[in-house]
Amino acid sequence: MPKTTIPYGTKCKDVFHAFMVQHAEFDGEMEIPCVKTTDMLPTRLVPFSHAISEKDHSGFVVFYERDEKIETFWNNPKKYLPMLKRYDGVITPDYSLYYDMPYAMQVWNTYRGKAVGAWLNDNGIPTIPNVRWGDECTYELACLGVERNSTIAVGTHGCIKSKEYRHMFIHGFDYILDKLKPKNVIVYGNAPPRIFGLATMYGVNILRFESAFCLSHKKEVC
């Protein structure tokens, strides 16, 4: 994973956010940016759309929301940097990896999430990588740029509501466990024992936080 510097053209607008990976290291043939993981663990999680107006700045900001909401951050990340610095830390964005999405788009969304992580590292913000996968062709991709034997975050809201989705989630999660061997897994959403019980048996620390949707509806529907 060699150190890489992105050259800048003085007359070109940086539409691909090359500034985010100017000092990054890259992992794999797809050159996914590497994220340095903090040893801190969150006491609460604050959705990005809520974090903007929150007065309590304890906890980590998360991006487990619809793409159109977190796209505002990608379009102008520097605008939100002062706000993010007020919090304890950030979990990298959860850009969608739909099962029927073209693979090139899944690579791009994986890249974007890790690029944000590298940029947060550069700005001194404690960071935890979100790990998102689709079908089996994305399992290895999901692990790129993520430190082993550390902390990862996953979101389950909307991902385990049907038998098919649960099956795919479990297979992917088992792969991630074997590959990354995390010490801690932060779960945003439901964390049923049939999915996370094996990880607990292996000594993985599971920290579960209810999604904002579930909290607002006073019941778990993930």
Span 93-128, pLDDT tens digits: 999 998 889 999 999 999 999 999 999 999 999 999
User: Mean of the pLDDT values across residues 143-158?
Assistant: 94
CA distance 10 to 106: 30
Q: Does 12 score more than 60 pLDDT?
A: yes
Rounded to 5 degrees, φ, ψ at 52 are -60, -40
Query: How many angstroms separate the most distant Cα atoms in the chain?
Result: 56
Q: CA–CA separation, 185 vs 74, rounded Å?
A: 25
**pLDDT tops 60 at residue 4:** no
Confidence (pLDDT) at 99: 83
* Mean pLDDT over each residue of the chain, to the nearest integer: 90
Residue 221 has a pLDDT of: 46
Mean pLDDT over residues 42-58, rounded?
96
